[in-house]
């Protein structure tokens, strides 16, 4: 019974999306942020409440999955109330529920997905499944309503690194991906070995500003002629450098290590992203994922893109790292394309990859 009602309502939303206002309540719980947002027409944020567990996981040097699940469970009802209050809407005003079902931590995803199912069932409204990685990409549609395909997108987060040619709202070509670590993962690991707290990205970013780029870690990237990435070699070279310096009893400049590591990591990314734009004759480039918050990347790539006459898009800081508003934006794309309606049998997909999405 629920499934039929939800399907009819979803079809109606798909048919009428350009003629009426649609309110989506979206849920994100894939890692260490419990977030719920209310979006009007997938682009206007009425509320975007983010309850971060960073301080809880900091003392362990990274996210502890079981602790993350428990804290999602404790936070989610309060986050929902706050999201509704800030948006000044009632649950009965909502047209559809959207939820991240992968990629991410299994137990953490299960909390969001179970909560979303219960809401959709109780309210008798459609449940839309959202791929977290595509959610990051769609954060740009909120802040840049002029962004239209085709464009190149660099997905740079703690779990993923990829270059895509976006052809349409639901079609893309995967040009390259990381062969080992994600770029954010490399930031986090380098920070850890330098004794800096989790998450490493923002701290390495800040420290790099105070340092000199005077250490060469990897002379030539092995993948320089492809659109694939490798960050594990660079990360290992940084770790080896630190160990060697310690063995010799020499002082390490944390600032210089951060500046030099960041330069090499970002060079790999920026060169390939610009090369992809040129190869496919595309003059738009977007950044998506936590690492797009990086201040050096935002300023340096802006300069280079201006020289190359490429328009660069990146989300405001709050939409770079994990948040539910981006999940709502991507769910709205699904309403436009009429895809990704889910039943109550929706399961989580912890190890989801971009090549497994229906956007190929």
Q: ∠120-139-34 over CA atoms, to 5°?
A: 50
Q: Is 28 in the site for Zn ion (CB under 5 A)?
A: no
Out of 187, 231, 241, 313, which residue is the one contacting ligand KG4 (CB under 6 A)?
187
* Count of residues of this chain found to bind ligand KG4 when the rule CB under 6 A is applied: 20
* Candidates 62-70, 82-90, 143-151, 200-208; binding stretch for ligand KG4 (CB under 6 A): 200-208
103 three-state secondary structure: coil
Among 29, 34, 51, 157, binds ligand KG4 (CB under 6 A): 157
Using CA atoms, how far residue 238 sits from 221, 246, 299, in Å, is 14, 12, 24
Examine residue 291 and tell whether it contacts ligand KG4 (CB under 6 A). Answer: yes
Enter the tokens of residue 91.
């649950």
Of 63 and 301, nearer to Zn ion (C-beta) is: 63
Cβ–Cβ < 8 Å for 66, 57? no
| Residue closer to ligand KG4, measured from CB, 95 or 322 | 322
HEC assignment per residue over 49-96? EEEECHHHHHCCCCCCHHHHHHHHHHHHHHHHHHHHHHHCCCHHHCCE
d(CA 314, CA 288): 7
Of these partners, ligand KG4, Zn ion, none, which one is at the site of residue 294 (CB under 5 to 8 Å by kind)? ligand KG4
Residue 52 Cβ vs Zn ion, minimum distance, rounded to whole Å: 13
Partner from ligand KG4, Zn ion, none contacting 202, C-beta within 5 to 8 A by type: ligand KG4
Closest Cα to residue 35, out of 25, 44, 20?
25
Binding partner at 187 among ligand KG4, Zn ion, none, C-beta below 5 to 8 Å by kind: ligand KG4
Q: Are 183 and 160 in contact (CB under 8 A)?
A: no
- Binders of ligand KG4 among residues 109 to 138 (CB under 6 A) are 136
Q: Which residue is nearest to Zn ion (CB)?
A: 322
Q: Which of 107, 202, 233, 328 binds ligand KG4 (CB under 6 A)?
A: 202
Asked if residue 322 binds Zn ion (CB under 5 A), the reply is yes
C-beta atoms surrounding 278 within 10 Å? 12
Do residues 197 and 247 make contact, with C-beta atoms less than 8 angstroms apart? no
Residues that bind Zn ion (CB under 5 A): 157, 322
Q: Which stretches of the chain bind ligand KG4, using CB under 6 A? A: 31, 136, 157-159, 184, 187-188, 199-202, 205, 289-291, 293-294, 321-322
């Amino acid at each position: 019974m629920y499934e039929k009602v939800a399907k009819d309502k979803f079809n109606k939303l798909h048919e009428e999306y350009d003629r009426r206002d649609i309110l989506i309540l979206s849920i994100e719980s894939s890692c260490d942020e419990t977030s719920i947002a209310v979006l009007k027409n997938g682009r206007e944020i009425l509320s975007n409440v983010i309850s971060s567990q960073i301080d809880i996981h900091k003392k362990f040097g990274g996210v502890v999955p079981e602790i993350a699940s428990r804290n999602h469970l404790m936070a989610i009802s309060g986050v929902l109330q706050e999201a509704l209050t800030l948006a000044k809407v009632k649950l009965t005003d909502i047209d559809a529920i959207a939820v991240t079902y992968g990629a991410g931590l299994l137990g953490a995803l299960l909390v969001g997905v179970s909560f979303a199912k219960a809401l959709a069932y109780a309210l008798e409204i459609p449940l839309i499944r959202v791929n977290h990685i595509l959610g990051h990409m769609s954060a740009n549609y909120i802040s840049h309503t002029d962004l239209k395909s085709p464009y190149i997108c660099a997905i740079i987060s703690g779990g993923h690194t990829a270059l895509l040619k976006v052809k349409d709202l639901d079609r893309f070509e995967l040009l390259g991906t990381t062969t080992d670590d994600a770029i954010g993962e490399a930031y986090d690991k380098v920070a850890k070995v330098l004794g800096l707290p989790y998450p490493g990205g923002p701290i390495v970013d800040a420290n790099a500003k105070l340092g000199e780029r005077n250490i060469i870690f990897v002379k030539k990237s092995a993948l320089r002629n492809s659109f694939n990435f490798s960050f594990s070699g660079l990360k290992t070279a940084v770790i080896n450098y630190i160990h060697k310096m310690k063995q010799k009893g020499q002082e390490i400049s944390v600032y210089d290590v951060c500046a030099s590591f960041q330069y090499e990591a970002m060079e790999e990314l920026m060169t390939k992203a610009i090369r992809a734009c040129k190869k496919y004759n595309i003059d738009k480039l977007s950044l998506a994922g936590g690492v797009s918050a990086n201040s050096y990347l935002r300023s340096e790539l802006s300069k280079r893109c201006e020289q190359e006459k490429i328009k660069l898009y990146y989300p405001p800081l709050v939409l770079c790292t994990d948040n539910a508003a981006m999940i709502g934006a991507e769910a709205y794309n699904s309403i436009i394309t009429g895809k990704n309606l889910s039943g109550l049998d929706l399961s989580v997909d912890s190890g989801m990859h971009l090549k497994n999405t229906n956007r190929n």
